[in-house]
Structure formats: C-alpha cells, structure tokens
Amino acid sequence: MNQHRESWGSKFGFIIAAAGSAVGLGNIWKFPYITGENGGGLFVLIYLVCIAVVGIPIMMAEIVIGRSTQKSPVGAFTVLTGKKSSWKIVGWMGVFVGFIILSYYSVVAGWALNYTFMSLTNFFSGKSPEEIGSVFGLLYTSSGINIFWHAIFMLMTIGVVLGGVKGGIERWNKILMPALIVIFVILAIMSVFLSGWREAVDFVFLPHIDRLKASGVLEALGHAFFTLSLGMGAMLTYGSYLQKDTDIVKSSIWISVLDTLVALLACMVMFPIIFTYGFSPEAGPGLVFKTLPIIFSQIGTGGMFISFIFFVLLVFAALSSAVSLLEVVTSYFIDEKSWTRHKATLITGGIIFLFGIPSALSGAGTLFPQWESMYGKNFFDTFDYLASNWMLPLGGLFISIYVGWVMDPKLRQSEYLTGSAITNTWYYEAWLIFLKFVAPVSVILIILQRVGLLDIDRLLGAIF
C-alpha cells in the first residue's frame, strides 16, 4: 500500500497546504467573536502564549509521528506501538473528532456560501447597518437555506478529497492563501480610517484584567488547538505525505505564524467596524457576517465586487480546512479498512452531512427543540464546545505525552532533525522541555480548572 501513498509536490506545497488547513473559519469567523466575548486584550495575549508554548511544540510532534510512520493517525499508532496497544484509541479519537468538527464546520461554511450568493445579488447596497445585521438572524433561523448550503459545501469538500490531495489542494492553496492575505491587508488598511480604529486597537491589544473570565483561559487553549488544526491528527496525516527533506521545525513555525497573522488581521478588520457603528463585540457566531457587509455596502459600486471576492476567499479558506478534516476520517478507512478512496470519501462525507443536519437546524430549533433547555447550549454550540474545549486539548495532551515520554528517543530525535538545517541540538532540547512538561501541564491545569478542582481566578488574583 505504501507505494501508492501520495506525497506533496514540494516543501512549499506542504507548508501552504498545512497553512490552508490551519487558516480557516477558526481565524476569520471564530477568533474575532470569542475575542469579543472574552473581553479582548488579555484573552488575545493568553491565546498567543498558548500558540507558542503548547501549539507549536504539539504541531511538531504530530508531524514527527506522521512523517516517521507515513500513516494516518490509527495506523501511525499501530506502527509505533503495536496492534494491541491502547495508544490506538488516540488515533480513533482523532477520526471521531474530525467527524464531529466537520459536521458543524460545514454549516458555518454554508453561511459563507450564502453571503457569497448575496453579494452577487447585490443585497447589501443601500441598506443600513441594522438592516444588514438583521439578515444574519434571518439566515440563522431558516432551516431550508441552512441545509441547502451545508449540502453544497459538503459536496465541494467531498469533491476535493475524491480527487486526492496532491494536485487538488496543493495547487489551489498556492493561489488562494496569498489572495486571502492580500485582501485582508487591504481591508485592514481601510479599517484604519474608521473612527473606531483606536478603540479597536485598545480592545484587541491592551490587556484588561477585569474583562477576562476564567473560562476564557480554557477557551484560549482550546482555540489554539482548533486554529492550528491540532489534537486530532490532521497535521499528523498531512505530515505523513511528507518526504524526508522537509524542515519540520521551520515549517511548523511558518504555519503557526501565518495562522496567527490571519487571525489578528481578521480582528483588526472587524473590531474597528464594530466600534465605529456601536455594535456589541459580544455578537457571537454572527459577528463576521454582520460586520463586514457594512463596510462593503459603503464602498459604493465596487463594494459588491469586494464583498464577493471576500466571501469566495472565506469559502475557500474553509474548504482547505474542511478537506483536512475529511481527509483524516477518509484516510482511516483507506489505510486501515482497505476501502477505495472513492468509497471512503462518499460514505464518510455522506454520514457527516447527515450528522450536520441538526446543527444546520439549531438556529431554527425545528429538530430537538428541547436540546438547549436540557444541555444549556443548542446542538451546534454543544458539539463545537465539546470538540474544541475538551476533545482537542485531550488529544493534544496524549500526543505530547506519547512523543515526549513514550516514543523511542532515537527515532524521535532523528525524525525531528532530519531535513533540518539546524546543526546543534539546542532546539531539540528546548522542544522536548515544552513537549514533556509545559504542554501537558498547561492542558492538565486548565482541565482541572474546568472541572472545578482548581481556581485559576484566585491564583491569578494572588499573583496580580
């Protein structure tokens, strides 16, 4: 089977595809709204720390496992730890989490498709900011339209994964990622001229201790995993298509820097609009859809065009991430169950579509109307919460423990350094410290806080 295994066309191709997986709705849709809900500055700071001390080391660990075994998660743990080992559960968990995340991710991507279509019909021009904002509510509560776009997006994802990874994703990402960054820089420059810009800079970059809730710390860590595509074997799987000449250290840092850059740019585009028009930063999941069309509507004739380009790019950013999620699920059945790519993609994609339907109907409340009163959050939010705040950090915890403490040290070191220009082992030693201690301890502390065994608020209060 191994000789059929695909690989990336170039080192740059891998970086761009992995960055394509990382950069997605997490950066543009989710990061700004959770930053808004968690009071800004301090949350952003904690998030950056999580990226640096937990995210990057775990990304390197995933790529080390993937490239050394040339397998998707379940197969990788089988190769490393044997057929009967319980480490395989980490691989299965990854497949399961990929399944869950994609099911609601596709619904949000469907919203982006809907806004692309609305740009074409020139919906936003001549409307007031309130009118533009209220369309989102209309979309959110309509069952049929949500299912329709969710279906279209799943079909697109299935289409790309059916075609295999190399030619499709790699080629598309090379065009789309730079385009996305260019349009964001343009929008960020436009935002500088809004009257709310200073207030936005203050909100996003100045730490206001009093505005952060303790739950925000777990959310920042969970989001660091989500945005870097970590904790369920997506980077592991992408790493498995790598050849030995790639520098894992450099690539991981590049991917993470790019990802963080897009997230911060997204905030610097959206928050000036929010403060200029007196919206609440706590608008929740509708934030990007309620704010950006306002600036598009005010540009005049070119606005519709920019709006269209923006949402198309958002759809593609989501697509390149969704593909990595489906690839993990699909490659399990290809590698472990010997299904053909065709069969695996169609069946898993179809089931994920079905599982996404309750998420698509969450706003309308037509399916499971009692869900929210029973579980505190609607179907969509429940699974987003479980996946990003629990399953990804737990997956990351196991991966860091495995690579830090269990994996054969010789294999680990040679895999880490192969392809790297680094000649001294200083980086390697530093990485090991982060992987062995900093990452697992952070995850455990934050989980203890969440289950009520530790009170970080009081701890922080004692320090500051």
Residue numbers of the site for ligand TRP (CB under 6 A)?
21-22, 24-27, 101, 226-227, 229, 232, 234, 321, 324-325, 392
Helices 287-299 and 301-337 pack at an angle, to 10 degrees, of: 150
What minimum distance in Å lies between the beta carbon of 451 and ligand TRP? 22
Tokens representing residue 287 in the block: 């934030």
Estimate to the nearest angstrom the gap between the alpha carbon of 226 and the chain centroid: 4
CA proximity to 110, closest of 314, 271, 373: 314
Of 262 and 268, CB closest to ligand TRP: 262
Please name the residues in contact with 49: beta carbons below 8 A apart, sequence gap of 6 or more: none
Of 22 and 407, CB closest to ligand TRP: 22
What minimum distance in Å lies between the beta carbon of 105 and ligand TRP? 7
What minimum distance in Å lies between the beta carbon of 30 and ligand TRP? 7
One-character DSSP codes across 398-422:
HHHHIIIIIS-HHHHHHHHHTT---
Of 263 and 283, CB closest to ligand TRP: 263
Residue with tokens 């997006």: 153
What minimum distance in Å lies between the beta carbon of 227 and ligand TRP? 4
Compute the distance between CA of residue 251 and CA of residue 15 in angstroms, rounded to an integer: 6
Give the largest Cα separation in the chain, rounded.
65
Compute the distance between CA of residue 104 and CA of residue 356 in angstroms, rounded to an integer: 5
Of 96 and 277, CB closest to ligand TRP: 96
Please name the residues in contact with 408: beta carbons below 8 A apart, sequence gap of 6 or more: none
Let me know: does 321 contact 24? Beta carbons within 8 Å.
Answer: yes
Of 101 and 107, CB closest to ligand TRP: 101
What minimum distance in Å lies between the beta carbon of 428 and ligand TRP? 26
Please name the residues in contact with 293: beta carbons below 8 A apart, sequence gap of 6 or more: 115, 118, 123, 124, 132, 307
Of 22 and 432, CB closest to ligand TRP: 22
What minimum distance in Å lies between the beta carbon of 26 and ligand TRP? 2
What minimum distance in Å lies between the beta carbon of 130 and ligand TRP? 29
What minimum distance in Å lies between the beta carbon of 401 and ligand TRP? 18
Residue nearest to ligand TRP (CB): 26
One-character DSSP codes across 447-461:
HHHHTTS--HHHHHH
Of 98 and 129, CB closest to ligand TRP: 98
Of 20 and 129, CB closest to ligand TRP: 20
Compute the distance between CA of residue 282 and CA of residue 272 in angstroms, rounded to an integer: 14
Please name the residues in contact with 109: beta carbons below 8 A apart, sequence gap of 6 or more: 25, 149, 153, 315, 318, 319, 322
What minimum distance in Å lies between the beta carbon of 97 and ligand TRP? 7
Compute the distance between CA of residue 145 and CA of residue 293 in angstroms, rounded to an integer: 19
What minimum distance in Å lies between the beta carbon of 392 and ligand TRP? 6
Compute the distance between CA of residue 442 and CA of residue 93 in angstroms, rounded to an integer: 21
Of 262 and 432, CB closest to ligand TRP: 262
Of 181 and 422, CB closest to ligand TRP: 181
